[in-house]
Amino acid sequence: MDNNSVIKSLGELEIQSEAEAEAYESYVNAALEDGQTKKKSVQRNYATVLTEEDIRALMEIDIQSVSDFTSLSKAEATLLLSHLRWDVDDIREQWSAGAQIVRESVGLLKLDPPSDDNEYFCGACGKSDPHKNFASVSCGHRICTLCWTSHINKIISEKPSAEWNLWLKCPVRVGLHASCPASVGRDMIEEFASREEKFKYNQYLLRTYVENRETMKWHPIRGSRCAIDLSPDSANASVSCLRLVRFCWNCREDAHSPVDCKTAAKWLLENAVPCPTCTRSIPRNQDNSLKMKCLPCNYEFCWYCRLDWIEHLEGTGGDSYTCNFYAVSSDQSGEMSESDPNRYGDCYEDWSSNELLMQKAEANLPKLDTAIHQDLSNTQLENVSQLKFILEAGLQIVECLRVLKWTYVYGYYLREDEVGKQNLLKDTQERLKNFVENLKHCLETNLQPFCYEEEPSKDFKAFRIKLTELTSLTRNHYENVVKDIENGLASVVSDGP
C-alpha cells in the first residue's frame, strides 16, 4: 500500500481519543514525507491501518496473481482463493502438482460448452425460455435467470456465511440425491444477487481474506471497519497502529507488555471492566464503590450491571454500593485477593496510579502538537519533520508508564519465596521511574521557554540534542526492562523450586 493510502486511512479509523490521533498524525505524515516506514524495535511495532478500500486493493492483487498463474478468469480465481483460505503460495503449489484435481475440489469443472440452440429448457424449473434468458457456470447446465436469482439470494439470505461455499452450487440435480458440484462464482453473484445479498457476499470475501492472513487482523476498536497489517518480522506482540491505538496483537486487548496475555486477563478479570461505550479497560475504584467512569469517553456506569449510572441509581434508590441486577452487596463485591490483602493493595495502587499518569501523558500529546505547529515551527525550525523528536519523547513517556504499570502486576504474581526476583524488579522499577522523570522534566520544563520566543534561540539546538539523547537512553532502558521481564528475570539465581 502506498503512502497516500496510509494517510487516507488515518482519517477513517475510529479511535478512543481523537485528540491523541491528531497529535500523532502530523508526526506520521512527516515520516511519510521523508519516504520512511515507521518501524521501531521492541518499544513500538507500528502496524499499517487498512481501510476496506485498501483491503480490497490487496485482494485484487492476489486475485490477479492467481488469475495470471492459472489462466483462470478473475471470478474463477476469486472462487479458488475463497475455497483455499486465500493462500496464494499454497494454490500455486497445488496447481502445479495437479490443476485438474484443484479445479474439481473447488467446483470449477471443465466441460464442453452447451449448444447454441435458440430455445433452452431450464435445468432447475424445466420451463422453456429464449437463449438470452439463461446462464451457466462451469458445468454448462442451463438455468434461467429467474431460478438463478431465487437460488443465489435464498442461500445468501438464509444460510450461514461459513456454509456459502458448500451451498452456492449449480441448482441442477444430477442424481437422485446429489446436486451438481459446480460452484457459483463472484460474477454470478454480481449479476443475479440483490443489492443487499451482494453486499453480504462482498463483506464475506473481505472478512475471510483478513481472517486467513497471519499478519492481518481486524482493528480491536469496536465499530471500526479497518484492519491492521503487521510486518511478519515483528519480534513483539505489542503493537501500535498509526493512530496511536496501542494493543496486543495476540489477544487484541490493551497492550500489556511485559506480562503475557493469560496474566493480563487474570488481573483485568479481577480488577477492571471494559467500558460499555468504548471497550477500554477501566480499573475498579479503590473505595469499592460500584460507580465507574471511563476517562477517555466520560461514560459513567455500574461495575456489575454495566448500566448507565443514573439508570443504576434509579434501581437502587441512590445506593452506590449495591446492584439490584446482580443482587451483590458491597461486602460480597469487595473480594479481590485472599492471599495478602496488604500486598494486593500496594500492587493495585501502583498499577492504577501509573494508569492515571499514562492517561495524563497521552492527554499532553495534543499540547506538544500545538507547540510544534503553532510555536516552534514559526521560530525555531521551519521543517516540522525536524521537530518530531518532541513527540518521540512524549510517546516514549507514555510507553514507559504503560510498561511500568504492568510490571507491578508481574510482581504481584511472583511467588513469595522469589525474593531475589522481587528485589531486582523493585530496583528495575525505580530506575525506570527515574528515566521517565528526567525525560518528563526536560520535555515539559525545558521546552516551555522556546514556545514564547519570537526569534530563533541559540539554545534550541542544545535542547534538541539533550532531549533526543534522553529519549534514546530511556528507550534503551525501557527495552531492557521489557526483555528481562519477558525472560522471567532469568539473570536472578533461582530462589526456590
Q: DSSP code of 451? A: H
Summarize pLDDT for 161-217 with one digit per residue, the tens: 888 988 999 999 877 657 899 999 999 999 999 999 999 999 999 999 998 988 888
Helices (H), 371-387: 377-379
Q: Is the pLDDT of residue 26 over 80?
A: no
Long-range CB contact pairs, 164-170, < 8 A, 24+ = 164/201, 164/204, 165/82, 165/83, 169/107, 170/123, 170/136, 170/137, 170/139, 170/141, 170/143
Is the omega angle on the peptide bond into residue 274 within 30 degrees of 0, that is, cis? no
Mean pLDDT of 58-87: 95
Summarize pLDDT for 83-116 with one digit per residue, the tens: 999 999 999 999 999 999 999 999 999 766 556 6
Residue labelled with grid coordinates 516552534? 376
Determine phi and psi for 272, rounding to 5 degrees. Answer: -150, 160
Q: Is the pLDDT of residue 14 over 50?
A: no
Residue 108 φ/ψ region, left for φ over 0, alpha for ψ in the -120 to 50 degree band, beta for the rest: beta
> CA 414: distance to chain centroid?
30
* All residues at 6 or more sequence positions from 198 whose CB lies less than 8 Å from its CB, including other chains: 189, 190
> CA 449: distance to chain centroid?
39
pLDDT number for residue 33:
38
Q: Is the pLDDT of residue 327 over 70?
A: no
Q: How far apart are CA 367 and CA 373, in angstroms?
A: 10
> Which candidate, 127, 189, 194, places its Cα nearest to that of 164?
189
* Portion of the chain with pLDDT greater than 90, in percent: 36
pLDDT number for residue 453:
72
pLDDT number for residue 308:
84
Mean pLDDT of 468-494: 87
Summarize pLDDT for 418-458 with one digit per residue, the tens: 999 999 999 999 999 999 999 999 998 888 777 767 777 77
Q: Are 438 and 369 in contact (CB under 8 A)?
A: no
Q: DSSP code of 442? A: I
CB crowding 411-450: b at 16 or more within 10 Å, else e: bbebeeebebbbebbeebbeebeebbeebbebbeeebeeb
Q: Is the pLDDT of residue 72 over 50?
A: yes
Q: Mean pLDDT: which of 274-278, 354-358, 371-375, 430-434 is highest?
A: 430-434
**Residue 46: Cβ within 10 Å count:** 18
Using DSSP, state whether 228 is helix, strand or coil.
strand
Q: How confident is the model at residue 221 (pLDDT cuts 50, 70, 90)?
A: low
pLDDT number for residue 56:
93
pLDDT number for residue 382:
57
Q: Is the pLDDT of residue 492 over 80?
A: no
- In order of 135, 169, 410, the CA distances from 122 in angstroms are 10, 15, 69
Q: Is the pLDDT of residue 16 over 50?
A: no
Q: Is the pLDDT of residue 323 over 60?
A: yes
Angle formed by the axes of helices 195-211 and 74-83, nearest 10°? 60
Q: How confident is the model at residue 347 (pLDDT cuts 50, 70, 90)?
A: confident
Q: Is the pLDDT of residue 45 over 50?
A: yes
> Comparing 79-93, 150-164, 287-301, which segment has the lowest mean pLDDT?
287-301
Q: Is the pLDDT of residue 74 over 80?
A: yes
